[in-house]
Each structure stands twice: as structure tokens, then as C-alpha cells.
A and B are shown apart, each in its own frame.
Chain A
């Protein structure tokens, strides 16, 4: 059984839980209470030196960084659950392109927006609305590019779902849940909207979206 050390509500912890569900890999969550700063305790940083969650213990093999964990589990169990990483060299290259798009053209903008509008209020802090406005503006042209890509193929790497699509779910869901002009970013673009509805209604995501 994969031991997942993280926080039930954390975006990156839920990403790993999602992949476990997609791959039918059972896991056991050990809670690291972020509100109490348990991720900064010496016992945690001895294992995850950046003081972040999650990490896994897979029969003694320790791994951190949620996308690395996702890739490890996808490759370890190629023949069970959903196939999430292609093996054909060109398909794999296009998957890597899509995975990089997610990181550098989506998360880099959406994660700080979620930080300002969702996480800061939870800690009793005011969002920096000027920054949010700036970030939202820069997101528009990125989503225009997504619209072009997704009008030609079903998913970001081609016609099959891959990790690259699923990586969008935790921060994307928090972003979309803000409603108003945030949800509008997806809703106003038909192909992007179609793709968003598809991936966000996957049973594996519905099983973990409210807690890993």
C-alpha cells in the first residue's frame, strides 16, 4: 500500500490521490497538518527537505514532488487503470510538450491567483487584487492558445487523456470555483470548456476533489 503523506485539502496531495484512483493503486493518507506547520517539523524536512507536501513511501522508496510521484505511479502500473503516459517516442514527446504547457503556461499563473483569492482569505489575509487582475489578464492569451490546440484534438497531448490534462485539475478546480470572471475564462472558450467539463467530471477526480 502506498503511504501518502500530505494534507487532505492540499492541491498537490489531491493530485497524487487522483492518480492513485486512476491507476487503481490503493493508498493510505497520513495527515501532515499544514495549518499547524507540521510540514516544517524536523521529522518532515528530514524526508522532504523543502518542507512541502506531499511525499510517498512506496514500500520504503521515498519520493516527493507531486508530478514526479504521478509519473512514477503511472509508469510503475502501465497495465492497470487508465493509461496516462504514452510510450511511443513521438506520442511521448507530445505528452512532454503538454506537461510543460501545463506547468509554464497555466499553473504559473493560476496557482498565484488561487493563492491570492482562496488561500490568503483562509489565513485572514487580504488578496492583492491588483496582482490578481494582472495575472488574469496574462492568462487570457494562454487560454486562447489552449482553445486553438483543443479545437484540433480532444486532449492536450492528442486524442487520449494523459497526466498533462489531469495536472490541471487541483488548481484549475479552485480557480473555476471562484465563478464570475474566473469561470468565464473557461466558459467563454468552447473547446476549452468542453475539455474542462470532460476532465473535471472524471470519477477519479470526483472521488478526491473534496479531500484526498
Chain B
């Protein structure tokens, strides 16, 4: 049975899962969830994802949610095909990978999600952005990206010399903030700019941007 991704094609974290499936050459079927009509908040949906969020996958009856968990599962299940070592196996390389994943979680995601919430999600709900909060978020993100520039000045990717899930996790919300919303935070950070150009040029990501 083909892997089913339940979600909406525009949802950033649905696109993340699609991207990793493509990296690993895993065919998938996107089963549309009408998020704009609140389908993900219905009891029927919550049977599968109790938090009422997308995506979740159905892998031949095995249900899994939380996009980063799904990505790890796909990367490990199909370790021997597609882009290699998206989750490294050597114990020290794996530890540095986990450090990089945690860096994205704590030092990138909260800020890019916050900016997206203020500028896009609130707009959809007819609310005005909180400008003070937005300013805070952007300033914090800048400070964090200064550190990224140091790290990426010493190595090609966040976990070392090869691309891993830790880099790919930045794609969905990074694209929204740097490209769609046009926050030009990379110009003064040449190493981050180099890394961002590299990961956003991956054929798997370009394919998902065209059509998840």
C-alpha cells in the first residue's frame, strides 16, 4: 500500500514530510484534509491525531503523527535508498545530529513560527499583528542567525559535512520567512546564505514547492 500523508498541500509541515519522502524516493499519496473548513478539528480526525493537527501518516495501517517523528521514521525505514545518512548512525555523528536538530527546535523554529503567526496566521483570522512581539521575534532570530553563521563558517551543514534532517527541518518555515515574507536576514550572514541557497536548491524541495 502506498504511504498516505493526511494533510493539506499548503501546510508547511505536510510539505516537510513530502520533501523527505522525495529525498528517500518513497512514493506517497497526499490525502487532502480540509483544514480551511476545520476538518482537522473534528472528532473523526482526532481519532488519528488527538491534537487536531496535520500531518499524520498511514503506513500500511501504522499511524504516526508529528512531522519530525514522521521524517525520522521514513529516513530510518528507507536508510538504504535515496539521500543517505539523513539520520547518521555512527554514535558521535548521531549525537551531533541530535544537537543540530535541537538547535533548530530551540533556536530557529520558535522565532520563524512566531513571525509566520503574526504576519500570516493572524491575518487569516482577521487579527492584526502584534508589532512589538514581531519586532522582538525578528531581533531574536537575527541574534540566533549570527550564531548559525559562526557554526556554518566551520562546516558545510548544521551537523557536519553532510546534509541531514536537521538542515531540512528549516525548509518550510525558513522559506515562509526569508522568501514569502521577504525578511532579508541572510545578506549580512554569508555562511547562512550559502547554506540556505544550497538546501533550498535541492530537487526534492523544488518539487514539493511546485506541488506537494
List A residues at the B interface (Cβ < 8 Å).
Answer: 49-50, 61, 63-68, 71-72, 75-76, 89-90, 92-94, 96-97, 99-101, 103-105, 108, 141-142, 145, 148-149
Contact = CB atoms under 8 A, between A and B. Distances in A.
Nearest to B50: A145
B114 to A, nearest CB: 10
Interface in B49-91: 50-52, 62, 64-69, 72-73, 76-77, 91
Contact of B98 (A68, A93, A97): A68
A103 B95 contact: no
B98 A49 contact: no
Nearest to B97: A68
B50 to A, nearest CB: 4
Contacts of A103: 105
B151 interface: yes
A75 B91 contact: yes
Contact of B99 (A65, A75, A141): A65
Interface residues on B, range: 20 to 34
Given A75-B91, A75-B94, A93 B73 contact: yes
Contacts of B96: 63
Nearest to A149: B50
A107 B99 CA distance: 18
B interface SS class: helix
Interface of B: 46, 50-52, 62, 64-69, 72-73, 76-77, 91-92, 94-96, 98-99, 101-103, 105-107, 110, 144, 147, 150-151
A67 B150 contact: no
Nearest to B41: A141
B76 to A, nearest CB: 7
B107 A76 contact: no
B92 A65 contact: no
Contacts of B103: 50, 65
Nearest to B109: A104
Given A75-B94, A89-B77, A100-B66, A50 B99 contact: no
Given A49-B150, A145-B51, A68 B144 contact: no
25 contacts: A49-B147, A61-B92, A65-B98, A65-B102, A67-B102, A67-B105, A68-B95, A68-B98, A68-B99, A75-B91, A75-B94, A89-B77, A92-B76, A93-B64, A93-B72, A94-B64, A96-B69, A97-B64, A97-B66, A100-B66, A100-B67, A100-B68, A141-B52, A145-B46, A145-B51
A145 B52 CA distance: 9
B99 A142 contact: no
Residue in B64, B66, B77 with the greatest tally of chain A CB atoms within 10 Å: B66
Contacts of B101: 68
Contact of B91 (A49, A76, A100): A76
B72 to A, nearest CB: 5
B99 A93 contact: no
Contact of B95 (A63, A93, A99, A100): A63
B85 to A, nearest CB: 17
A93 B33 CA distance: 23
Contacts of B77: 89
B50 A148 contact: yes
A93 B58 CA distance: 13
A168 to B, nearest CB: 15
A8 to B, nearest CB: 21
A108 B106 CA distance: 9
